[in-house]
Amino acid sequence: MKKMVAAGLLGALMGASLLLALDEQGLTAKMKAAGGHMGGLRKAMEANAAADVAAHAKAMAEAYEGMEGFFAARHMADAAKWSSEGLAASNELASAAQGGNSEAVHTAMGKLGATCKQCHAAHREKLADGSYKIK
């Protein structure tokens, strides 16, 4: 009986998480925000502005929230994995910047950029009007 109740609760939670997942418009908005913050990260790193790096990295983490669920719901396991890794790298970057560890900042930025690049190469298609869509 306990196993049945636990299984039912687990199923309900999984169903609820799929309902809370992003839709394509939500993902597009998050991707645009992430792109802006990625540019801000690069500028802040060039200027050695640790506080700005931390702020943009935290905003990147916010942009990544929900992306894993979006891709998991669409059975895009690689993109879900990269989303999870991007979220972790964003948090790592924010922590490193707040701690003033420039080597860790550069390492985390490399990880973050790699997650973006891999996913975009695999799942992003540029349209004739210059916008993008998910492959």
**Triad 13, 17, 20: Cα angle to 5°:** 140
pLDDT of 64 reads: 96
Q: Domain residue spans in the chain?
A: 23-134
Residue 7 structure tokens: 């299984």
Residue 44 · residue 4 · CB < 8 Å: no
Query: Per residue in 75-95, pLDDT tens?
Result: 999 999 999 999 999 999 999
Q: Which residues, in sequence order, are CB contacts of 98 under 8 Å at separation 6+?
A: 50, 54
Which whole number is the average pLDDT over 65-74?
94
pLDDT of 1 reads: 55
Q: Of 98, 85, 2, 88, which is closest to residue 53 (Cα–Cα)?
A: 98
Longest alpha-carbon distance in the chain: 61
Percent of the chain's residues with pLDDT above 70: 84
Three-state secondary structure call for residue 13? helix
Which whole number is the average pLDDT over 103-107?
97
User: Using CA atoms, how far apart are residues 96 and 105, in angstroms rounded to an integer?
Assistant: 5
Under the banding of pLDDT at 50, 70 and 90, the label for residue 3 is: low
The model's pTM is: 0.81
pLDDT at 9 over 60: no
pLDDT of 128 reads: 94
Identify residue 9 by its one-letter amino acid code: L
pLDDT at 131 over 60: yes
Overall fold of domain 23-134:
Four Helix Bundle (Hemerythrin (Met), subunit A) (1.20.120)
**Helix%, strand%, coil% for the chain, nearest 5:** 80, 5, 15
